[in-house]
């Protein structure tokens, strides 16, 4: 998890510093689940966790080698679910976003309403 600290800017001849806009203390987070194919050992789990943890807005990452999946808590305003998947895909794994909404059963009309 990365923290950004406000920067104090001092201009020549200024007697007062100007601080950068402050970030909200608690940003809204969402949970995204990923299905990851191609993990061959526990080291893969570690590599994926490190890569996801470096993304902006990510607050928690759990990667499970046995289930070939990852769960990520993140601020969707800073990092999208697709960005998470692309990050893992960039490491050489086949990655699919498997959020609950994506896996919800649909009726025969295909309108997304659960059965």
3-state secondary structure of 88: helix
Nearest-angstrom CA–CA distance, 58 and 72: 7
Q: What pLDDT, on the 0 to 100 scale, is given for residue 27?
A: 58
What's the number of CA atoms in the CB half-sphere (13 Å) around residue 43?
1
| Stretch 31-55: mean pLDDT | 96
Fold observed for domain 34-101: Alpha-Beta Plaits (3.30.70)
Q: Are 61 and 72 in contact (CB under 8 A)?
A: yes
Q: What pLDDT, on the 0 to 100 scale, is given for residue 81?
A: 95
Looking up tokens 């020549």 gives 12
CB atoms within 10 A of CB 32: 24
Beta bridge partners of 74: 30, 58
- Quote the pTM value: 0.64
Return the structure tokens found at 89.
């895909």
Angle, CA of 80, 86 and 88, to the nearest 5°: 115
Backbone φ and ψ for 20, nearest 5 degrees, come out as: -70, 155
Q: What pLDDT, on the 0 to 100 scale, is given for residue 99?
A: 79
Q: Domain map of the chain by residue range?
A: 34-101
pLDDT band at 16 (very low <50, low <70, confident <90, very high): very low
């Amino acid at each position: 998890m990365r923290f950004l600290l406000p920067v104090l800017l001092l201009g020549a001849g200024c007697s007062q510093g100007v601080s950068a806009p402050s970030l909200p203390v608690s940003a809204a987070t969402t949970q995204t689940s990923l299905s990851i194919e191609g993990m061959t050992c526990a080291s893969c789990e570690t590599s994926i966790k490190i890569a996801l943890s470096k993304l902006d807005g990510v607050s928690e990452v759990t990667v499970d080698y046995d289930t070939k999946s990852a769960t990520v808590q993140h601020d969707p305003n800073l990092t999208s679910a697709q960005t998470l998947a692309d990050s893992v895909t960039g490491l050489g794994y086949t990655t699919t976003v498997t959020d609950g909404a994506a896996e919800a059963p649909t009726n025969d009309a295909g309108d997304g309403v659960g059965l």
